Amino acid sequence: MKLSIIPKESGRAKASALFFVKQSIQFSDVLSEAGEKQVESALKSMKDGIFSDLEFLEIDGKATFFVDAAKERGLSGLDHLRMAGYRLAKVAAQKQIPVVSLMLADAATEQFKAIAHGLAYADYKFDAYKSKKKESFQVTFEIVAGTQVAAFKKIAADVAVEQKAVTLAKNLVNTPAADMTPADFVDRAKTIAKFTQGLSIKVRDMKQLQKEGFMGHVTVGKGSSRPPFMVTISYDGTKFASATAMRSAAAVKREARTSADHLVIVGKGLCFDTGGLCLKPPKSMPEMISDMTGAATALAAIQAIATLKLPLKVSAVLCLAENAIGNTSVLPGDIFTAKNGKTVMVDNTDAEGRLVLSDGLAEAGLIGATHIIDIATLTGAMVRALGYAVTGFFANDDDLALNTINAGEACCEKFWSMPLEEEYADALKDKFADLKNTGSDAGAISAALFLQEFVPENTAWAHWDIAGTAFVTKKWKYTEYGATGFGVQTLIEMARRLSATVDKDYAESEYKQV
d(CA 204, CA 13): 54
> With contact defined as beta carbons under 8 Å apart, do 339 and 360 qualify?
no
Q: Residue 178 burial (CB < 10 Å; 0-12/13-18/19+)?
A: exposed
Q: What is the DSSP string of 160-205?
A: HHHHHHHHHHHHHHHS-GGGS-HHHHHHHHHHHHHHSTTEEEEEE-
Closest CA to 362 of 294, 266, 443, 292: 266
Which one is catalytic: 354, 436, 477, 497?
354
- Cβ distance 24 to 112 under 8 Å? no
Which residue type does 416 have? W
384 catalytic per annotation: no
For the question of residue 497 being annotated catalytic, the response is: no
- Say how many C-beta atoms besides its own lie within 10 A of residue 378's C-beta: 28
Q: Are 56 and 65 in contact (CB under 8 A)?
A: yes
Could you say which of 62, 253, 280, 342 is catalytic? 280
Helices marked H in 324-430? 353-366, 380-386, 398-410
Distance between CA atoms of residues 425 and 417, nearest Å: 18
Distance CA 382, CA 463 (A): 12
Catalytically annotated residues:
280, 354
